[in-house]
Structure 1
Amino acid sequence: MKIFLAVYKNDCNVTRAAESLSMSQPAVSLAIRELEEYYGVKLFERLGKRLQITQAGIMLSEYAVSISDLFESMEENVRDWEKGGRIRIGASLMIGTQLMPEYVKAFQVRYPGTDVRVKVEPQEYLEEKLLNSELDFALVEGAVQSPTLEAEPYMTDHLTVICSPDTGLRNRQMISMDEFRKMPLLLREKGSGTREAVDHVLTAAGYTPDPVWETFSSESLTCAVICGIGTAIIPYRMAAIPLRRKQVVEILVEGLEFTRYYSIVRHRKKHLTESAKNFIDLCRNYEMDYPTISFT
Structure 2
Amino acid sequence: MRYTLRQLQVFLATAHHENISRAADELAMSQSAASGSLKELEQQFDVQLFDRVGKRLQLSELGRELRPEAEKLQAQALAFESALGGAQTPGSLRIGATLTIGNYLAVPLIAAFRAQHAGADISLHVANTSEIAAMVADFQLDVGMIEGEINHPRLLTRPWREDELQVFCAPDHPFAGKRSVSDARLSEAQWIVREPGSGTRQTFDRAMHGILSDLKISMELQHTEAIKRAVEAGLGLGCLSRISLKDAFARGSLVPVQVPQRDFSRQLNLISHRDKFHSAALEEWLSLCAQHN
User: TM-score normalised to the size of structure 2?
Assistant: 0.68
Name the larger-Rg structure. 1
Deviations 1:221-269 (A, max 9, x none): 1111111110000111111111111111101114112011111000111
Distance 2:88 2:261 in 1: 49
2:129: which partner in 1? Answer: 123
In the alignment, structure 2 segments of 5+ residues that lack a partner are 1-78
Distance 1:132 1:145 in 2: 15
Matching of residue 161 in structure 1 with residue 185 in structure 2: no
**Counterpart residue type for residue 263 of structure 2:** E
| Deviation, structure 1 residue 76 | 5.9
1:173: which partner in 2? Answer: 179
Deviations 1:110-167 (A, max 9, x none): 1223211211122222222222222111111111142110111101111000011112
* RMSD, matched Cα: 2.2
Secondary structure, aligned partner of 1:263:
strand
**Distance verdict in 2 for CA 1:91–1:81, change over 3 Å:** farther
Distance 1:83 1:172 in 2: 53
| Deviation, structure 1 residue 81 | 6.4
Alignment of 1:59-78 (within 5 A): 77-78=82-83
2:18: which partner in 1? Answer: none
2:22: which partner in 1? Answer: none
Secondary structure, aligned partner of 2:197:
coil
**Counterpart residue type for residue 217 of structure 1:** H
Secondary structure, aligned partner of 1:278:
helix
Distance 1:168 1:131 in 2: 45
1:207: which partner in 2? Answer: 212
| Deviation, structure 1 residue 184 | 0.6
Distance 1:172 1:102 in 2: 35
Which stretch shows the higher mean deviation, 262-271 or 277-286? 277-286
Deviations 1:12-39 (A, max 9, x none): xxxxxxxxxxxxxxxxxxxxxxxxxxxx
Distance 1:237 1:172 in 2: 22
| Deviation, structure 1 residue 210 | 3.7
The question of whether the paired residues in 2 share the 8 Å contact of 1:123 and 1:192 is answered with yes
2:110: which partner in 1? Answer: 104
In the alignment, structure 1 segments of 5+ residues that lack a partner are 1-73, 288-296
Distance 1:117 1:224 in 2: 30
Matching of residue 216 in structure 1 with residue 222 in structure 2: yes
| Deviation, structure 1 residue 109 | 0.6
1:238: which partner in 2? Answer: 244
**One of 263, 272, 276 as aligned partner of 2:278:** 272
Aligned pair count reads 214
The question of whether the paired residues in 2 share the 8 Å contact of 1:188 and 1:194 is answered with yes
**Distance verdict in 2 for CA 1:163–1:120, change over 3 Å:** same
Distance 1:86 1:159 in 2: 33
**Counterpart residue type for residue 177 of structure 1:** D
2:191: which partner in 1? Answer: 185
**Distance verdict in 2 for CA 1:121–1:170, change over 3 Å:** closer
Secondary structure, aligned partner of 1:112:
coil
Deviations 1:18-75 (A, max 9, x none): xxxxxxxxxxxxxxxxxxxxxxxxxxxxxxxxxxxxxxxxxxxxxxxxxxxxxxxx97
Secondary structure, aligned partner of 2:180:
strand
Which stretch shows the higher mean deviation, 85-94 or 172-181? 172-181
Alignment of 1:78-93 (within 5 A): 78-79=83-84, 83-93=89-99
Distance 1:146 1:247 in 2: 39
**Distance verdict in 2 for CA 1:226–1:83, change over 3 Å:** same
**One of 136, 147, 154 as aligned partner of 1:148:** 154
Distance 1:118 1:167 in 2: 37
